[in-house]
Amino acid sequence: MIIGVGIDVAEIDRFAAALERTPHMAERLFVERELLLPSGERRGTASLAARFAAKEALAKALGAPAGLQWTDAEVYVEDTGQPRLRVRGTVAARAAQLGVRKWHVSLSHDAGVASAVVIAEG
């Protein structure tokens, strides 16, 4: 059963400007594994914008309750290329309250826009 669906878009240049003008914003939005590539280099802005859109979409799928912490949701990509969500803390508590047992995630970025769709399944 579908419990919630969320979608979000982020303009990549606008997101990059926000990261540049707001010190430590990236660290407040993302866990370290989201910020870094396996090589240890910092992930590109388009990829981070897509992950941010996924976190926004996740909040919408959960009904956008107050108090969710950005770093309680982690967007990662499996070796197969499939994006996934790892939740803990405030996000896991809300998901449990709603009966979410599985997440479906789609990420994209093209033409200056990053987008994400999140489906919460019970």
Whole-prediction pTM: 0.94
Task: Please report the pLDDT score of residue 23 as a whole number.
Answer: 83
Q: Is 2-121 a CATH 2.60.120.460 domain? A: no
Task: Please report the pLDDT score of residue 38 as a whole number.
Answer: 86
Confidence of residue 61 (pLDDT cuts 50, 70, 90): very high
pLDDT in tens, 7-48: 999 999 999 999 999 989 999 999 999 999 888 899 999 999
In percent, how much of the chain has pLDDT > 70?
100
Where are the chain's structural domains? 2-121
Amino acid at the residue 103: W
Task: Please report the pLDDT score of residue 53 as a whole number.
Answer: 98
pLDDT in tens, 66-101: 999 999 999 999 999 999 999 999 999 999 999 999
Cα 15 to Cα 2, 73, 119: the distances in Å are: 30, 19, 23
Separation CA 33–CA 97 (nearest Å): 27
Which candidate, 26, 33, 13, places its Cα nearest to that of 109? 13
